[in-house]
Structure 1
Amino acid sequence: MNVALIPFDTAAPSDGSGVRRALRRLPLRDVLQLAVVAKVEGTATLNDVSRELASERIGAELQRAGSPALRRRSLQILSVGCEGITTPGGWLIASLKAPAGRGFGLALGHARSAPVAMHDRATRKHIGSAATAVRAAMRRAGLDRKAVELVLIKSPIRLAGGGPHVGSTAASRGAAALGAALALGDIYESDLRDGSLCTDWRLHGFRAMAFSGTETDCCEALVMGNRRGGDPLLRVERAVLSDILDAAPLAALAAGAKAIFFKAGIGRSGAVRGARTTVLTSELPPDKQLRAAASGVVGAILGTTRAFISGGAEHQAPPGACLAAVIRAAD
């Protein structure tokens, strides 16, 4: 497997010019699967249409560049919110046809679950759907559980039907994260209870970053890892940060980084290293504050504003911890 990694910037959610230029650099006839992973500027509220505008434009560019078949082989992982010093944009990440090789490097695959009914969202069935999507993506990537370094997973939001998780982006992310952890063997089915979601913080993975969205009705997973037969020119690497100020693990990922992913979290008390903050108590939504803060941390340590930064690490890491990952050039 060869992998193409092509960056692009956007001037607005509806701007497709960067994606169009990136697609021109892609050998479309050789594409097995394509993922468009991007940060979109917008308010990130439930009624924000920025993600829909971006998704529609990207879909149109995919169809223009290739065909409906290319669009069917593609997956969009879009996350709204570029607070701080994050440059809106992202990457095309594509698996390409290549002669079978024995080199060790990056491999990837993506998959979707069946639609998750509204009344099943933020329940055990939602968690199971996420696990199904991750397992299917692993098969397409040719990766076993131990070889998976990073899962990016998009998850639908419960918008109706009553219950404690209606309108909760946190519950959407948490269900996806628990499903990914289940698929990767980081937690077990016997660990889960009907009320575990967003209550039992002992349950978490450490290899998945989860994102919620109103534009999807299913779980959509992109899985990346390193294996024999992968692209020997690229690697994916990941680190767990004890908190948002834990610079050393992030700095260790810097060399040769070509794409950067960061999931920002904070403990349930809102404190960082024992000091009170107002992240969870001010008039500003916590996710916005976390994205802004993380953009400064990532920018200072890695020297770039181009990073996929998301807030809300529910069940994705130990409470208060953050995740970071890079696709980098192989040594």
Structure 2
Amino acid sequence: MIKIGIVGYGHLGKAIEKCIAHFPDMQLFATFTRRDPNSISSHSRVESYDRINEFKDDIDVLILAGGSQKDIPEQAPFLIADFNTVDCYDNHDKIATYYKKMDEIAQANRRVSVIASGWDPGLFSMQRMLMEAVLPNAETYTFWGPGMSQGHSDIVRRIDGVKYGVQYTIPSDKMMEQIRAGQKVDYTPAKAHRRDVYVVLEENVDTEKITKEIKEIPDYFAPYETTVHIISESDFTANHQGMPHGGYVIRQGETSEQTKAKYEYSLQFDHNPEFTASICLAFARAAHHLYNERNFGAKTVLDIPLRYLSLRDHNYLLERFI
């Protein structure tokens, strides 16, 4: 039985706690929070994050369920000294630097750190690599949404003066139609998407200042067409509690001159945190496998044998999936 620890009890942490019931080889040891553990309403064990090192011999894999802007960059380098970890770090532009840092620490401490293990980065990363490998003379296009982005919403909620906030990523249907029709497009992520933000503000805050601050956040909002909607708490409660998401990766090109080929992969799910949690748990299984092999260091989804994600043994995979 793989003993799992969760760091953080927000949307993702709660989803991991819930989804682990579908992973029969895993057991939740505890959730660790920076809040008062007695303030957390949970059917599972909750401990203070300040005491986490006391349990280093009781946990096989820690899943870091915090945000990518501050939580994971601060916590992961500290925790990898004593634990194997899995995270969903999603700042694409900084992943290479983050990987190098985590690999150095993980190697030195003989631990495994699986980074960027969600669906993008994560499952979409796997598809982009596979698409390029089998269809080299082509172009790849990634579209996210329509749906609620966990990472972007988390960043919005951390802004001083924001009481509640959510961000929806909206892809360009027109551009997707053009690509599927074989037309050339001027694709960039910023041109292919827009971002809609809905926030409830604390009392006596500067609306224009908050709006400007959101739109100017580097990497996440600054390059994109972003609209910020200031709404009431009742509106937020009534209309912004769902967490669906999904997206598409499309690669289109030629296998030979004038012989076209298209490879498309898509995801749609009702609850972004729960789907992400399920991915994290599968990669926690892989992290445990790698650790038992003494294959230490940082790993991305591209570095891990696919069968390490599965509960099934090799013979079962050969008989059923090949």
TM-score by length of structure 2 reads: 0.26
Where is the helix percentage greater, Structure 1 or Structure 2?
Answer: 2
* Structure (1 or 2) with the larger CA radius of gyration: 2
TM-score by length of structure 1 reads: 0.25
